[in-house]
Amino acid sequence: MNVKQLFDLTGRVAIITGGAAGLGLQMAEALSEMGANLVLCARKKDRCEQAAKDFAAKGVKTLALACDVRNQASIQETVDRTVAEFGQIDILINNAGVSWGAPVEDMPLEAWNKVIETNLTGTFLFSQAAGKIMLRQKRGKIINIASVAGLRGAPPELPAIGYHASKGGVIIFTKDLACKWAGHNINVNAIAPGWFPTHMSEIVIERNKEAFLKRIPLGRFGSDYDLKGAAVFLASAASDYVTGHVLVVDGGQTA
């Protein structure tokens, strides 16, 4: 195959959790631009429906669904609806996530549980449900959205230990699942973004803007296109010999 064919996603079906806004929407745009059909799911269905209308205007087949990644039945319904609509699941991007800021000594248990259940357990549950379809197909691409926060600790002014722990968990989950399903032609990789201005991160970025920029060699935050190439690479045949990998997209922050 030539390079254009390697990156072509025409006819592929991609589920993106939290795909109606922020990084999820950016990655959804990238896959659609390479020909993929989209399933956008999030707790707020209205956002997904609006995004689906925008994609439909561009000729992209899109299904908008409400889904809570902490709810196994909700996930299964999303998988079932996807298969009923498109007949297959080729790509899963586990992007839905939450954070909670509090000093360790003051972190409420319910807050810790919410972050772990959404970011880590949700990634497991959705991979399990979609993976059963991929196992039957004997092919698939799973992309878990981790974070540079999962690669190392952070100073006290970034009090989000639940988020860091959950993303560290996502990274080792990715590596282990890659080993477990490699024999079934299922690639499992992760993307670890650095600081991208989104609804979830904008307050933290605004409070620490200058300090963060000093630690980023490229001297800027992630843009509205900086994850596109990474997502397409890991979703396409271009990465067929890549599994268990964590692709860091952080402007050099962890270098």
Catalytic residues: 163
How far is residue 173's CA from residue 86's CA, in Å, rounded to a whole number?
A: 28
The beta-strand segments (E) located in 32-169 are 37-42, 62-66, 91-94, 140-145
Q: Phi and psi dihedrals of 62, rounded to 5? A: -140, 135
CB distance 208 to 157 below 8 Å: yes
How far is residue 131's CA from residue 123's CA, in Å, rounded to a whole number?
A: 11
> How open is the CA angle 220-50-31, to the nearest 5 degrees?
55
> How many Cβ atoms sit within 10 Å of the Cβ of residue 112?
17
CB distance 222 to 22 below 8 Å: no
